[in-house]
Amino acid sequence: MLQSVDVGERSVDNYRGIVADEMLDELHQVAGDLRGLRVLHLNATPYGGGVAELLRSVVPLLNNLGLVAEWKIISGDQDFFQVTKTIHNALQGGKESLSKDSQNLYIETARRNAAMLEEAYDVIFVHDPQPAPIPALCGRGDSLWVWRCHIDTSSPNPEFWAFLSQWLTVYDAAIFTLAEFTPPDFPVKQVEIIPPAIDPLSPKNFPLQKAVARQVLEWIGIRLDTPLITQVSRFDPWKDPLGVINAYRMVRNTIPDLQLALVGSMALDDPEGWEVYQRIRMESETDPFIHIFTNLTGVGNIEVNAFQLLSDVVVQKSIREGFGLVISEALWKGTPVVAGQTGGIPLQMADGVGGYMVNSVEECAESILKLLTDKDRSLELAKTGKERVRQNFLLPRLLLNELSLMKRLTAGKPLIRTGWEAWRDHVCGMVVSNSVSAPSAEFGGKTYVFCSKACHARFLKNPEHYTQ
Ligand code: UDP
């Protein structure tokens, strides 16, 4: 069985007062038609990076809306993730090549994971290239398959694209962040454009009192009596951390007590992170004003929240970017941003909204300096950026887009959940085909059977809820 990721519980109604009531009402209405729908989100890592960030909020909220959603991850060794990172880089236009052995490792790892996908689902979302071949290898079954691409695939390396796209032909739909990301000759007919969003209630984004945030940053060695600029991102060459260090050095010529924090996470599926980390360390060794932190040394969601709240400027000097959740995260906290003009970043910012977009180290340094030296302008930009995030990039909008897609995809399709005979799973509504081996529970003198361990566990948490 593939490994499940535990996500806890959340309530959609907690977003009242943050997003428009009409949006939440529509969310309940669309979800009402999908009650009991079994949904799986499948990706490669439970932490580090935007996909994990999204799923940690999306999956529990789908459950709260009455669907039965799970998050599972595929497994692979370091060599496999080296290969998938090479594919990731090549799809973003990198000049890589993939040996026959690497191709075989990718396919064989996907085949092993495909064999571990045991339960039945109505809709399966497969995120990014790592697990992409699974439906082609394990068979589509009765599920609808959606490939969710989070990276900029507008000009992929053709050799890699030919290799990947052969696995995509079986999908029912695909989602990209921007229309421009859909590669030429894309083999899936139904293409949806859905930008990601941030969760304003997650520990990374909830309102943190400034005094607490100050304590958090001082605790890890940041001085708060001198200016601070921060980049929060995986240690990845596409995020250009060395470019950030160079820009910071230029600004220091004018503001000598400027501090730079590079906050980077190590993701399970990104072995390149360590190499980049070493390069940054070497580059900054002699500069006590550069601080480098990782999730492995205890800098987690609350610390990231504090950095994004208290930095004078947040930098995201990406050269390629799928979306860049970090932009919306910083703007949501009222902090101005200087960011590379690439991928999904211009969706979130514009000239005069949120901060400045840049195309070189020099422009980056100039823009940081402008924001550090003109506080009024800086606050004004941050305010407009926050409003743009409120209108467009908060989680309920993303949920609504994805539920609407599921509704369209499942319309007229006989779903697993539609049988309501004696062996109905009272959590998800599915008919349990093999009631002898199915997990079961006794409650109120009756026996209940379940299609999966997940439904069984959900029932045991609150049996009254499912038997009323
Ligand atoms: N992140 C984090 N700690 C870090 C670095 C990044 O929690 O040290 C988070 C960041 O806050 C954001 C996500 O990882 O939520 C990165 O998503 P983004 O879309 O910006 O980039 P990706 O890693 O998906 O390319």
340 domain-assigned = yes
If phi > 0 it is left, if psi is from -120 to 50 it is alpha, else beta; for residue 334 that is left
Q: Do residues 307 and 223 share a domain?
A: yes
| Ligand 1 centroid to residue 153 C-alpha, Å | 19
Give the pLDDT of the chain (468 residues) as one tens digit per residue.
Answer: 899 999 988 999 999 999 999 999 999 999 999 988 999 999 999 998 899 999 999 999 999 999 989 999 999 999 999 999 999 999 999 988 899 999 999 999 999 999 999 888 999 999 999 999 999 998 999 899 999 999 999 999 999 999 999 999 999 999 999 999 999 889 999 999 999 999 999 999 999 999 999 999 999 999 999 999 999 999 999 999 999 999 999 999 999 999 999 999 887 788 889 999 999 999 999 999 999 999 888 899 999 999 999 999 999 999 999 999 999 999 999 999 999 999 999 999 997 899 999 999 999 999 999 999 999 999 999 999 999 999 999 999 999 999 999 999 999 776 655 433 345 678 876 656 555 567 889 898 888 888 788 889 999 999 988 887
Q: Do residues 84 and 130 share a domain?
A: yes
Tell me what pLDDT residue 422 has: 47
415 domain-assigned = no
Q: Do residues 260 and 151 share a domain?
A: no
| Ligand 1 centroid to residue 235 C-alpha, Å | 10
Specify whether the CB–CB gap between 321 and 152 falls below 8 A.
yes
What is the distance between the terminal CA atoms of the chain, rounded to a whole angstrom?
32
198 domain-assigned = no
In the numeric block, which tokens belong to residue 462?
A: 């609150």
Tell me what pLDDT residue 101 has: 97
Cβ atoms < 10 Å from Cβ of 288: 9
Closest CA to 309 of 239, 230, 394, 375: 230
Closest CA to 40 of 136, 149, 117: 117
Q: Do residues 21 and 152 share a domain?
A: yes
| β-strands 190-193, 228-232 pairing | unpaired
| Ligand 1 centroid to residue 202 C-alpha, Å | 13
Structural domains counted in the chain: 3
Q: Do residues 140 and 218 share a domain?
A: no
Mutate to test the pocket of ligand 1, among 265, 302, 348 (most ligand atoms within 8 A of CB): 265
What residue owns the CA closest to ligand 1's atom 7? 301
Q: Do residues 321 and 267 share a domain?
A: yes
424 domain-assigned = no
349 domain-assigned = yes
Q: Residue for token digits 């990276």?
A: 151
Alpha-carbon distances, residue 213 vs 61, 116, 224, 296, 415 (angstroms): 27, 43, 11, 20, 48
280 domain-assigned = yes
If phi > 0 it is left, if psi is from -120 to 50 it is alpha, else beta; for residue 17 that is left
User: For residues 422 and 425, what is the distance between their CA atoms, to the nearest angstrom?
Assistant: 9
Q: Do residues 187 and 237 share a domain?
A: no
Q: Do residues 324 and 369 share a domain?
A: yes
Residue 198 Cα: closest atom of ligand 1: 15
User: For residues 46 and 114, what is the distance between their CA atoms, to the nearest angstrom?
Assistant: 18
Domain-ending residue, one of 364, 392, 420: 392
Domain-ending residue, one of 392, 426, 449: 392
The amino acid at residue 78 is Q
Residue 326 Cα: closest atom of ligand 1: 20
Closest CA to 297 of 235, 240, 237, 238: 235
Mutate to test the pocket of ligand 1, among 304, 307, 395 (most ligand atoms within 8 A of CB): 304
153: Cβ contacts below 8 Å, ≥ 6 apart: 91, 92, 161, 176, 181, 182, 183
Residue 295 Cα: closest atom of ligand 1: 8
CATH at 345: 3.40.50.2000
Q: Supply the range of the domain harboring residue 439.
A: 434-468
User: For residues 236 and 184, what is the distance between their CA atoms, to the nearest angstrom?
Assistant: 26
136: Cβ contacts below 8 Å, ≥ 6 apart: 166, 167, 169, 170
Closest CA to 398 of 177, 233, 238: 177
If phi > 0 it is left, if psi is from -120 to 50 it is alpha, else beta; for residue 360 that is beta
What residue owns the CA closest to ligand 1's atom 9? 49
Residue 49 Cα: closest atom of ligand 1: 23
| Ligand 1 centroid to residue 233 C-alpha, Å | 5
Q: Do residues 80 and 176 share a domain?
A: yes
In the numeric block, which tokens belong to residue 260?
A: 């730079």
343 domain-assigned = yes
Q: Do residues 352 and 448 share a domain?
A: no
Residue 239 Cα: closest atom of ligand 1: 25
Q: Do residues 188 and 219 share a domain?
A: no
What residue owns the CA closest to ligand 1's atom 6? 233
Q: Ligand 1 pocket by C-beta < 6 Å: which residues?
A: 49-50, 53, 204, 232-234, 263-265, 295, 304, 322-326, 329
428 domain-assigned = no
User: For residues 182 and 191, what is the distance between their CA atoms, to the nearest angstrom?
Assistant: 8
Domain-ending residue, one of 158, 193, 228: 193
Closest CA to 453 of 4, 30, 132, 52: 4
Integer-rounded Cα Rg, in Å, for the chain is: 23
Q: Do residues 16 and 79 share a domain?
A: yes
Read off φ and ψ for residue 441, nearest 5 degrees.
Answer: -145, 150
